[in-house]
Structure 1
Amino acid sequence: MPPPAAPFDRDLDDLPPDLRWREWMRRIEAVLFASASPVAREDLVRVVGRQASVDLLVEDLSADLASRPYEVAQVASGWMLRTRPAYAPVIRASADVADQALDLLDFDLAVLAAIAYQQPITREGLKEVFGKEISRELIGRLSERDLIATGPRAPRRGAPYTFVTTEAFLSAFGFETLRDLPDREQWDDAGLTAR
């Protein structure tokens, strides 16, 4: 049987206000560091005192990390620590991160983008977008990586399943919400759309 957990003092009333605030920031940093996925506000509230503002603590932590190679990012429905994009080549050159790579083909990314922009969308809707049938294997790959999920059934004969993106999609691409997707003009300017 594991030893009983030490009492956990959320409020830290015995500390002066500035040290209390710093300790709450460090607790949030530790939770974000330990988590492989975005941490929701409700989870962070459980590690700080009643009078603490999670938003202000995260803001101060972000400022505190401004000179570091990683940052606090608001992604999906929570926050996470992530390496700043400028350090991506360094990490790829020296660290074993192959299992974290999405390794998607260009066409896979195009299908994923179509789902993101037009969700909920059926297989038939994807066929209309691409002018050809989208394979079950491709849908399976995106689903296995938890980038898409089945959405509501389409309100028409046969009630086919639709596809929608997931929180893992938002996290993988660093979006807080789908409103963060680039608009069509940005895609055109970047040469990423063919039509």
Structure 2
Amino acid sequence: MARREEGGLDRDLADLPPDLRWREWLRRIEAVLFASSAPVARDHLARVVGQGVSVYLLIEDLAVDLEGRPYEVAQVGAGWMLRTRPAYAPAIRAAADVGGHALNLSEFDLAVLAAIAFHQPISRDGLKDIFGKEISRDLIGRLAERDLIGTGPREPRRGAPYTFVTTEAFLAAFGMESLRDLPDPEQLADAGLAGSLEAPDV
């Protein structure tokens, strides 16, 4: 007997032959990823397929299925999302209204975000030590509003100030699977980007 979950979804699809059943599960995974603006975790994807079905194998098959398409399935943190391949970014910018999705961050904003990414969890005092000046609450607020950073554990000292960490939205925005994909600081220096970590004169 088919298992029906909330909303009448038949997860097992026992009435279908195995190849069509797998194809339907694959399409369900693709549909969920397509509809989501954030990475979707394995546990959530497992809600639309049969019990004991490997979400990982379905994701692998979906990645193969999307070869040659302008978008791909990408792992971001503990979940997956559909992402346009980088080669098509110029076409999208030229024809689509993506203004609401643009980060619109200054070079210094990006430098602070990079410092948080490399040194997390880090407090405002830690950022001050890096940049030689106080980092404004407005800048921290802008990064938090875009969900690029969140609060981390409090520092174990008097006053227990909050620390900041990057989020899955940060990983998605910069096309990374995990923080292991951050460039090596020496590579940044070799590319001449280390200077961007200096605070601008105000």
After TM superposition, the score normalised by the length of structure 1 is 0.93
Q: Structure 2 regions of 5+ residues with no counterpart?
A: 1-5, 198-202
The CA deviation string for residues 89-113 of structure 1, in whole angstroms up to 9 with x for no partner, is 0000000010000011010000001
Cα distance in 2 for residues equivalent to 1:65 and 1:176 = 18
Q: Residue 65 of structure 2 aligns to which amino acid in structure 1?
A: D
Matches within 5 A, 1:12-23: 12-23=13-24
The answer to whether structure 1 residue 35 and structure 2 residue 36 are counterparts is yes
Matches within 5 A, 1:5-154: 7-154=8-155
Q: What SS does structure 2 have at the residue aligned with 1:159?
A: coil
Structure 1 equivalent of residue 167 of structure 2: 166
Q: State the 1:158 CA deviation.
A: 2.2
Do the aligned residues in 1 keep the contact of 2:151 with 2:162 (CA within 8 Å)? yes
CA RMSD, 1 decimal: 1.5
The CA deviation string for residues 126-160 of structure 1, in whole angstroms up to 9 with x for no partner, is 11111111111111111111111222211122222
Q: State the 1:6 CA deviation.
A: 6.2
Cα distance in 1 for residues equivalent to 2:160 and 2:99 = 39
Q: Residue 141 of structure 2 aligns to which amino acid in structure 1?
A: G
Q: What SS does structure 1 have at the residue aligned with 2:186?
A: helix
Structure 2 equivalent of residue 188 of structure 1: 189
After TM superposition, the score normalised by the length of structure 2 is 0.90
Cα distance in 2 for residues equivalent to 1:176 and 1:36 = 16
More divergent stretch after superposition (84-93 vs 134-143): 134-143
The CA deviation string for residues 20-41 of structure 1, in whole angstroms up to 9 with x for no partner, is 1111111100110111111110
More divergent stretch after superposition (148-157 vs 31-40): 148-157
Do the aligned residues in 1 keep the contact of 2:73 with 2:80 (CA within 8 Å)? yes
Q: State the aligned residue count.
A: 191
Q: Residue 150 of structure 2 aligns to which amino acid in structure 1?
A: A
Q: What SS does structure 1 have at the residue aligned with 2:59?
A: helix
